[in-house]
Amino acid sequence: MSAASVDTLLHARWIVPIEPTGQVLTGHTLAMGNGRIQALLPTPDARQRFPDAGEVNLDSHALLPGLINLHTHAAMSLLRGLADDLPLHDWLQNHIWPAEARHASWDFVFDGTQIACAEMIRGGVTCFNDMYFFPEAAAESVLGAGIRAALGLIVIEFPSNYATDAEDYLSKGLEMRDRYKTEPLLRFCMAPHAPYTVSDANLERVGTMAAQLDMPIHIHLHETEEEISISLREHGVRPLQRLHGLGLLGPGLIAVHAVHLQRDEIALLARNGCHVAHCPTSNLKLASGVAPVANLMEQGVNLGLGTDGAASNNRLDIFAEMRLAALLAKGSSGQADAVPAHRALRAATLDAARALGLEGTTGSLEPGKSADVIAVDLSSLETLPCYDPVSDLVHAAGREQVTHVWVAGKQLMKERRLTTLDEAALRQKMHQWGDAIGRTGAA
């Protein structure tokens, strides 16, 4: 690398590269340029080799790859807190779907995604995997914010304000992908909503299109007992078995929730190289259950973390999900060594990148990868003394300790100030949406 290819040096108290596993560097600097990580090297060497580069001193900070939210519905931030304390099917059918029928629109998705991007950037999330109506509005919002995202080509059998039937969803999704496929910050997934909302014929089409266009398949799967009863009643098999029969299991499948799994189903996921997007808060809040994370990991199923939408969480906070995932895995397995802190952080970064096929781009601090980097200040009283910064990051720190965020080398937050989004304007928009949606109620 030439000195000219490095424009910024980040000198940090600790660097947590994620790969190699378990490593924490001290006295080191991350050199970035052309949007990429160019080198990790001892600070005196960095100053000597790159004397002309700008410098950022992060003396009490841990530098780590940006966190990845492997499952969300960003625009649903506009429905945060609208319908709490309900089980999934009642919540969806009697509250969320009616509210969406009244309000979902291009503007709803643009503004809702924008507030979600602001919350995620402030919480150290640099990439999210989204499933929602009007994905082109989400794309515009994401590009304005400068964050990285995987956008779903949503497929659902019933009509919405976005599309009339499965055919229409698919053609609009493909049009959206064609329009944005050269954008370096965007990736695309096929996003059939769930086994109970998509027919066999359309699931098969999704499988074919995903294979032809090299897209992962992002689907809610085995979230509740009720979903499994519906499948047994209507199809005679459990949802996972049905998807297997339709040829959808493989290294492109991201099974969201995966709460209710029998032993042989965990083995089936592992054998086929499927990924799980574990959403511990949403699973608890909707009383769906506790996913068998320790077993999934033991059997080698790759697992990332998601918040789900803000309407069922109600935060888009991957710090909270890391801690909860670790605690739930320990408590439910009876093994205190289940999901140690380094493992939780890896799930929130590199393993989630792998699920999206982005492990060559993001998820760890390695030369050649995109400079998707966050700094977390561990000098607050709540995170002292600091014996192991990774233990602090997972079990003690909060997202409010994230101070700086870069995506592809572009700074999106500096000393907790957003650089691409206007906080005051966003606040005003949220008051307007709150008034409009609140007037009509949840149902």
| Interface with Zn ion (CB under 5 A) | 308
Q: How far is the CB of 285 from Zn ion (least distance, A)?
A: 12
Among residues 71 and 343, whose Cβ is nearest to Zn ion?
71
Q: Which residues contact 387 (CB under 8 A, 6 or more apart)?
A: none
Contact 305, 325 (CB under 8 A): yes
User: Hunting for tokens 């572009």 — which residue is that?
Assistant: 410
Q: How far is the CB of 220 from Zn ion (least distance, A)?
A: 5
Contact 157, 199 (CB under 8 A): yes
Q: Which residues contact 239 (CB under 8 A, 6 or more apart)?
A: 195, 196, 221, 222, 227, 228, 231
Among residues 64 and 74, whose Cβ is nearest to Zn ion?
74
Contact 282, 312 (CB under 8 A): yes
Q: How far is Cα 372 from Cα 124, in angstroms, rounded to an integer?
A: 10
Q: How far is the CB of 309 from Zn ion (least distance, A)?
A: 6
Among residues 111 and 308, whose Cβ is nearest to Zn ion?
308
Among residues 46 and 79, whose Cβ is nearest to Zn ion?
79
Q: How far is the CB of 113 from Zn ion (least distance, A)?
A: 15
Q: How far is Cα 275 from Cα 352, in angstroms, rounded to an integer?
A: 9
Q: How far is the CB of 428 from Zn ion (least distance, A)?
A: 28
Among residues 28 and 80, whose Cβ is nearest to Zn ion?
80
Q: Which residues contact 207 (CB under 8 A, 6 or more apart)?
A: 217, 246, 247, 248
Q: How far is the CB of 304 from Zn ion (least distance, A)?
A: 14
Q: How far is the CB of 221 from Zn ion (least distance, A)?
A: 11
Look at strands 54-65 and 373-377 and give their pairing: antiparallel
Nearest to 285 by CA among 117, 428, 135, 83: 83
| Residue of this chain nearest to Zn ion (CB atom) | 308
Among residues 188 and 406, whose Cβ is nearest to Zn ion?
188
Among residues 308 and 372, whose Cβ is nearest to Zn ion?
308
